[in-house]
């Protein structure tokens, strides 16, 4: 199994594994079932002292991490977004849904509904009809189109650009042609960086592996066409990799959003 070979690699390198969210699919499947089927994996992750940052698809993870009686030792190292200094840089580790304008209670409710329907169909057919990434993309695209309609009706088509007006025109963010959702998210990350909250943002959420400048890095996904991860050196240098049967493969994707 590729993921276990990757964990072998992490252990061999004496690395610290930080899981940036959406490890489970608790919008679609009950936690009890996941714990039963994936206990050996959780056992290993616990032995490795992996740090787990719940994402928006892990919405009941806080209950599993109840310090009075955690569902599994793995959840004892559950953490919210946190900052850690590596080398001379301050890294902010988070899932990323915290700054997503489309992650609202209504969208989450829709996600739970679609997830339940998808899980029921998979149970009846015995096959996985939609991957986690596909469901995420569907929800985000639907939400984005709703946001576009709202903006048109409100006659605020330039709202996203206005949010960045305080940035210097020559800055890469100001000149990028991007979708509204990612535009607003990247703006929020940059604003927090400018407020000196951190030097480098390490996130997941959009499942699009790559980097932007030298301050934003996305760890990608293990449920799509490739398996992605970030490696941070002791000096604070970040590189993006894909993992396959041949081991680590450099990924030089520059995110264009």
Q: What is the pLDDT of residues 187-244, one digit of tens each?
A: 899 999 999 999 999 999 988 899 999 999 999 999 888 999 999 999 999 999 999 9
The domain tally of the chain equals 1
pLDDT for 124-157, tens place per residue?
445 554 455 555 555 555 555 555 565 555 544 4
Q: Can you spell out the DSSP letters for 14-83?
A: T---EE-S--S-TTTS-HHHHHHHSHHHHHHHHHTT-EE---TT-TTHHHHT-TTS-SSGGGGGB--SEE
> Is the residue at 255 inside a domain?
no
Strands 18-19 and 238-244: unpaired
Asked if 220 contacts 211 with a C-beta cutoff of 8 angstroms, the reply is: no
Asked if 94 contacts 201 with a C-beta cutoff of 8 angstroms, the reply is: yes
E strands present in 142-225: 200-203, 210-212, 216-218
> Is the residue at 96 inside a domain?
yes
Which residues fall within 8 angstroms of residue 193, CB to CB, at 6 or more apart? 199, 201, 215
> Is the residue at 144 inside a domain?
yes
Six token digits for residue 162: 């206005």
Phi, psi (deg, nearest 5) at residue 46: -65, -45
Residue carrying the six token digits 């992750």: 45
Three-state DSSP state, 126 = coil
Which residues fall within 8 angstroms of residue 44, CB to CB, at 6 or more apart? 4, 7
> Is the residue at 109 inside a domain?
yes
d(CA 145, CA 26): 25
Sheet holding 247-250, edge to edge: 228-232, 238-244, 247-250
> Is the residue at 63 inside a domain?
yes
The size of the chain, in residues, is: 257
pLDDT for 12-54, tens place per residue?
999 999 999 888 876 667 778 878 888 999 999 999 999 999 8
> Is the residue at 244 inside a domain?
yes
Give the domain extent around 108.
2-250
Six token digits for residue 101: 């304008």
Q: pTM for this one?
A: 0.72
> Is the residue at 256 inside a domain?
no
> Is the residue at 11 inside a domain?
yes
Q: For position 173, what pLDDT does the model report? A: 46
């Amino acid at each position: 199994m590729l993921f276990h070979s990757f964990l072998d690699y992490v252990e061999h390198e004496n690395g610290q594994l930080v899981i940036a969210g959406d490890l489970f699919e608790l919008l679609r499947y009950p936690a009890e079932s996941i714990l039963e089927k994936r206990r050996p994996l959780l056992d290993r992750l616990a032995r490795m002292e992996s740090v787990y940052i719940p994402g928006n698809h892990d919405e009941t993870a806080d209950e599993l991490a109840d310090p009075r009686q955690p569902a599994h030792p793995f959840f004892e190292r559950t953490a919210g977004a946190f900052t850690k200094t590596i080398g001379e840089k301050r890294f902010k580790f988070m899932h990323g849904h915290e700054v997503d304008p489309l992650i609202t209670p209504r969208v989450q409710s829709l996600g739970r509904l679609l997830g339940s329907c998808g899980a029921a169909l998979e149970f009846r057919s015995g096959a996985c009809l939609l991957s986690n990434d596909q469901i995420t993309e569907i929800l985000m695209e639907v939400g984005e189109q709703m946001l576009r309609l709202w903006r048109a009706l409100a006659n605020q088509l330039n709202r996203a650009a206005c949010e960045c007006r305080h940035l210097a025109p020559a800055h890469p963010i100001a000149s990028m042609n991007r979708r509204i959702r990612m535009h607003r998210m990247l703006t929020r990350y940059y604003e927090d960086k400018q407020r000196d909250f951190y030097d480098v943002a390490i996130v997941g959420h959009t499942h699009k592996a790559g980097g932007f400048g030298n301050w934003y890095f996305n760890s990608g996904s293990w449920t799509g066409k490739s398996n992605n991860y970030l490696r941070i050196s002791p000096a604070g240098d970040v590189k993006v990799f894909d993992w396959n049967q041949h081991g680590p493969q450099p990924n030089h994707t520059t995110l264009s959003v």
